[in-house]
Chains A and B, each alone.
Chain A
Amino acid sequence: MSLEGAVAVHRFGLGARPGEIDRAGRNPRNWLLTQLDIAADQPVPLDGGSFRTGGELVVEMLQYQREQAMARRSGTGGDPVKAFFKTRVKLFTDELAARYALGFSTDRPFAERLVWFWSNHFVVSAQNPRATTLVGAFEREAIRPNITGKFEDMALAAICHPAMLLYLDNAQSVGPNSIAGTRFGKGRNENLGRELMELYTLGVDGGYTQADVIAMANILTGWSLNPAGQNNGFAFYENRHEPGDVTLRGRTYPPTLEGGIQSIRDLANDPATARHIATKLAVHFIADDPPAESVARLEKTFIQTRGDLRALAQTIVEDPAAWQSGNKMRTPVEYVTAGYRLLGLPRGDNTDKQVQGALAAARLMGQTPLAPPAPKGWPDTADAWSGPDAVLTRIEWAKRVGQSMPAGFDSGAIAESGLGPLLTPATRTVMARAASQSDALAFLISSPEFQRR
């Protein structure tokens, strides 16, 4: 079994499915890059139905709000958004189950890891009740089609998606001097304008001022929802848009949708953005504190290709530093995913329940899937995930997984197939001396080499 095959599967993939290290080992780099030749897979609802588009969800949501408003006027309704969230919570749990069922079983785990990476960059968190029902559509529509495209196109798709406009409060942002602003006394909301620059493009040290935040917020005034669902739920309202040219970081944009789109494209291709994205990719794929030359190489690729995400993925795969295995601690979601892939789960009936069980475990370890507490997304370094309680919870989960295996399994064979050359002598020894097969499996899943990738 080849060491590089194992690294490809663990570092770049999502952990080894049975036989996967052998398949990857024949030509590890090729195995990774051919996964990017077609668009990312789309998750399929576990109950066999189909998911709604962002536009359909906007129509439903607004419809529901109108009904609730009428009910409230007649004295029977509650908070409409909250009620909507409650009645539609299944939409989200179905999306969640389908997304992770795909992650647990996909044979294109590198493509899927990139989807997860970018969804944790352009964050829409299900923790925000206005966005919860749209989180799945956001990833399916704004992220998955773009993982091998241009960064600027992904950025635009993300910013214009109704999920993002709701999540960062832009749907209600009105230019104070626009027609709607002067007539109804409505105003601007800075949230999306700020996070677009701080988190999604330039980075916090990327060179912008509070005046730029206000300029960006002005540019985004009137970017809101399409109640008819056309244009996938996005609409630009000129009567809510702040009038007059806007100067953002020295460039002037006309007060039109096209002007706004151009400003986002410019931000997306800024050298500060290249640096920011290069650093995040290197931290994700190489080390918590990646070598400067690895970051520089990615930065160069970003600038030369104007943010071609496939070229960036290739640059990482070709970087020898990315093949030093074992220095990235798995996040809780990555950890339970690797555990399920190791054991070929979910299996048999009640797939949905098995998937939900893994996600509940990740929550106990500190990570609520697709619901980070802030638009910065989940942290990507070991210190965030290796506190005493988090580590003990991982061990408790490993123990429970071991106990829940059907009798007659061979933990030694699982270890060889799942980690291969990454398995350490210490883990082999403690497994060999374990009191039971289930304890041996629990040691394997708790082992330092399995906690890392």
Chain B
Amino acid sequence: MTTRRSILKSMTAAGALSLWDAPFRYAFASVPTERRFVMVILRGALDGLAAVPPHGDKDYASVRGQLAISNSHDIDGFFGLHPALTNVKAMVDAKEAAVFHNICSPYRDRSHFDGQNVLETGGAGPHILQDGWLNRALVPMGLADGTHALAVAQTPPLLLSGRAQATSWMPASLPAPDEDFLERLRGLYANDPHLLGALNSAIDMQRAAANAMDDPSVKPGMGGAGYGNLAPLFQGAGKLLAAADGPRVAVLDAGGWDTHFNEGAGEGQLSRRLQALDAALDALKTSLGPAWSKTAVVMATEFGRTAHPNGSGGTDHGTGGAAFLLGGAVKGGAVHAEWTGLSPSALQDGRDQPPRTDLRALFKGVLAEHMGVSSGALQSAVFPDSGSVAPLRQLIRA
């Protein structure tokens, strides 16, 4: 694919410098791409059969029992969306959202923490790789300078941690120290690269946020993973991503999916959490403004949950589940699944949704088609040991 960046590079190589070239080049140096990639980590193992109920499956109602959802938003006569996901449904209708089912990372045991490690490192198993796959993708995306990759968190999660630089941001609630104080502190941190790097990055991001956030509708406040309202965080991320010189990659954390107890069906605990996520996605879309059309958002979880309810009106840790790809750049409108049914023999170990698609195929496809990462970089650097996992195709509008 020819990008404006590569055209510029060849022009420069040819010595085609002119008067207008300097500012042009400056703009490119700070903004390598117009495209935005957002990764939302759904920590805690989202119940895929609740979020994307296969209401047309003959075994669905009997397998799910009290958790069966009768009023889902239908997508294609077979799959639906949980009734709380009204904004996601609108995106599917606008062909701006695609849904994936029976999908899972290569992790096959059922520990949250190892599962999240695999989801974030992109390794074939837990603790094989030490850094996050999105961090490793920053160099081939040309976004490794520390200002173009943003974690909406106090500290970047593993997904975005590693050798390339990233920054993090949360809505401020303590008054910021004056610049002179911070300047002296930089001196004090001169021999402590760890603290110095964190401080420098934070100062840059606070400045950018102050510019982006002069909109009073952005409300600062607590909103860490697992806590109530996600919308301010997604809205803040959208505003930062929308800025011309802002980040191009963002990671958001949304926890609260570990529904062992009283999960609920069309209403209840999980429904309320999905509603919060749905509202947050709408806030992200709105705050991105025109940049939404250049955005792809992937939402994934560490694994799915058991197909059958457990003894407490909830579900236990499982294997396959659902994932989402949303955004104005997305070629959406459908559910993609190698569906094998919910009969006992179709279920993994007789209990879980089977893992028919590797999540890395989705990640690789989006990185390739949307962010221009070459297949060589995907194989060697971003997802080593994933040779047999072919990227999914036709995910992004040309």
Residues of A bordering B, CB below 8 Å = 127, 130, 168-169, 172-174, 176, 181, 186-191, 194, 198, 204, 210, 213, 361, 363-366, 368, 373-374, 376, 382-393, 395-397, 399-400, 426-427, 430, 433-435, 439, 442-443, 446-448, 451
* Chain A neighbourhood of B226, CB < 8 A: 127, 373
Q: Mask for B199-222, Cβ within 8 A of A = 1, else 0? A: 111110110000000000000001
Contact B155 A366 (CB under 8 A): yes
Assembly CA distance A365 to B109 (angstroms): 32
Among A173, A187, A361, A391, chain B packs the most CB atoms within 10 A around the CB of A391
Tally of chain B residues near chain A (CB < 8 A):
62
Which of A189, A374, A442 is close to B310, meaning CB atoms less than 8 Å apart?
Answer: A189
Assembly CA distance A191 to B203 (angstroms): 42
A87, chain B: closest CB distance, angstroms: 19
Contact A189 B184 (CB under 8 A): no
Assembly CA distance A443 to B317 (angstroms): 47
The answer, yes or no, to whether B376 is at the interface (CB within 8 Å) is no
Assembly CA distance A443 to B189 (angstroms): 11
A59, chain B: closest CB distance, angstroms: 21
A173-B311, A374-B44, A399-B177 are known contacts. Are A448 and B192 too (CB-CB below 8 A)?
yes
Contact B168 A176 (CB under 8 A): no
Within 8 A of A (CB), among B299-324: 309-312, 314, 316-317
Q: Which 5 A-B pairs have the closest CB atoms?
A: A387-B155, A187-B311, A388-B202, A366-B154, A392-B202
A254, chain B: closest CB distance, angstroms: 22
Contact A392 B206 (CB under 8 A): yes
Contact A194 B181 (CB under 8 A): no
Contact A373 B177 (CB under 8 A): no
The answer, yes or no, to whether B170 is at the interface (CB within 8 Å) is yes
* Chain A neighbourhood of B111, CB < 8 A: 194, 198, 204
Which of B192, B201, B316 is close to A191, meaning CB atoms less than 8 Å apart?
Answer: B316
* Chain A neighbourhood of B194, CB < 8 A: 382, 386
Assembly CA distance A191 to B317 (angstroms): 8
> Nearest residue in B to A130 (C-beta to C-beta)?
B261
Contact B177 A396 (CB under 8 A): yes
Which of A364, A366, A386 is close to B174, meaning CB atoms less than 8 Å apart?
Answer: A364
The answer, yes or no, to whether B383 is at the interface (CB within 8 Å) is no
Could you write out 21 A-B pairs with CB less than 8 Å apart? Answer: A172-B311, A187-B309, A190-B317, A194-B111, A204-B126, A366-B224, A373-B225, A374-B255, A374-B258, A386-B155, A388-B168, A388-B202, A389-B154, A391-B195, A391-B202, A393-B170, A395-B185, A396-B172, A396-B176, A430-B184, A443-B184
The answer, yes or no, to whether B244 is at the interface (CB within 8 Å) is no
Contact A451 B195 (CB under 8 A): yes
The answer, yes or no, to whether B75 is at the interface (CB within 8 Å) is no
The answer, yes or no, to whether B112 is at the interface (CB within 8 Å) is yes
* Chain B neighbourhood of A399, CB < 8 A: 175, 177, 181
B314, chain A: closest CB distance, angstroms: 7
* Chain B neighbourhood of A181, CB < 8 A: 311
The answer, yes or no, to whether B182 is at the interface (CB within 8 Å) is yes
Contact B188 A376 (CB under 8 A): no
> Nearest residue in A to B152 (C-beta to C-beta)?
A389
Assembly CA distance A261 to B397 (angstroms): 59
Contact A384 B189 (CB under 8 A): no
* Chain B neighbourhood of A448, CB < 8 A: 188-189, 191-192, 195
Residues of B bordering A, CB below 8 Å = 43-44, 109-114, 126, 151, 153-156, 161, 167-170, 172-177, 180-182, 184-185, 187-192, 194-195, 198-203, 205-206, 222, 224-226, 255, 258, 260-261, 309-312, 314, 316-317, 349
B333, chain A: closest CB distance, angstroms: 34
Contact A368 B224 (CB under 8 A): yes
B182, chain A: closest CB distance, angstroms: 7
* Chain A neighbourhood of B156, CB < 8 A: 387
Contact B310 A188 (CB under 8 A): yes
* Chain A neighbourhood of B199, CB < 8 A: 388, 391-392, 395
Contact B317 A194 (CB under 8 A): yes
Which of B169, B174, B188 is close to A430, meaning CB atoms less than 8 Å apart?
Answer: B188
Assembly CA distance A364 to B220 (angstroms): 11
Contact B176 A426 (CB under 8 A): no
Contact A389 B181 (CB under 8 A): no
Contact B349 A373 (CB under 8 A): no
B117, chain A: closest CB distance, angstroms: 10
A383-B161, A451-B195 are known contacts. Are A389 and B170 too (CB-CB below 8 A)?
yes
Q: A187-B309, A387-B198 are known; give 11 further A-B pairs, CB within 8 A.
A: A198-B111, A204-B114, A363-B222, A387-B151, A387-B153, A389-B153, A390-B168, A392-B199, A396-B172, A399-B175, A448-B189
B163, chain A: closest CB distance, angstroms: 13
Which of A189, A210, A374 is close to B112, meaning CB atoms less than 8 Å apart?
Answer: A374
Among B112, B226, B311, chain A packs the most CB atoms within 10 A around the CB of B311
Assembly CA distance A176 to B181 (angstroms): 64
Contact A442 B314 (CB under 8 A): no
Which of A173, A191, A389 is close to B168, meaning CB atoms less than 8 Å apart?
Answer: A389
Assembly CA distance A439 to B182 (angstroms): 11
* Chain B neighbourhood of A391, CB < 8 A: 195, 198-199, 202
Which of A388, A400, A433 is close to B201, meaning CB atoms less than 8 Å apart?
Answer: A388
* Chain A neighbourhood of B181, CB < 8 A: 399, 439, 442
* Chain A neighbourhood of B258, CB < 8 A: 374
A387-B168, A392-B203 are known contacts. Are A446 and B188 too (CB-CB below 8 A)?
yes
> Nearest residue in A to B170 (C-beta to C-beta)?
A389
Assembly CA distance A384 to B180 (angstroms): 28
A395-B185, A430-B188, A446-B185 are known contacts. Are A389 and B155 too (CB-CB below 8 A)?
yes
Contact B205 A191 (CB under 8 A): no
> Nearest residue in B to A433 (C-beta to C-beta)?
B184
Contact A204 B188 (CB under 8 A): no
Contact A189 B155 (CB under 8 A): no
Contact B349 A210 (CB under 8 A): yes
Assembly CA distance A426 to B196 (angstroms): 14
> Nearest residue in A to B306 (C-beta to C-beta)?
A190
* Chain B neighbourhood of A173, CB < 8 A: 311-312
* Chain B neighbourhood of A447, CB < 8 A: 188
A414, chain B: closest CB distance, angstroms: 17
Assembly CA distance A210 to B174 (angstroms): 46
Assembly CA distance A132 to B63 (angstroms): 33
B260, chain A: closest CB distance, angstroms: 5
Assembly CA distance A439 to B185 (angstroms): 11
A104, chain B: closest CB distance, angstroms: 20
* Chain B neighbourhood of A388, CB < 8 A: 155, 167-169, 198-202, 205
A172-B312, A366-B154, A427-B188 are known contacts. Are A386 and B112 too (CB-CB below 8 A)?
no
> Nearest residue in A to B165 (C-beta to C-beta)?
A388
* Chain B neighbourhood of A189, CB < 8 A: 260-261, 310-312, 314, 316
> Nearest residue in A to B313 (C-beta to C-beta)?
A172
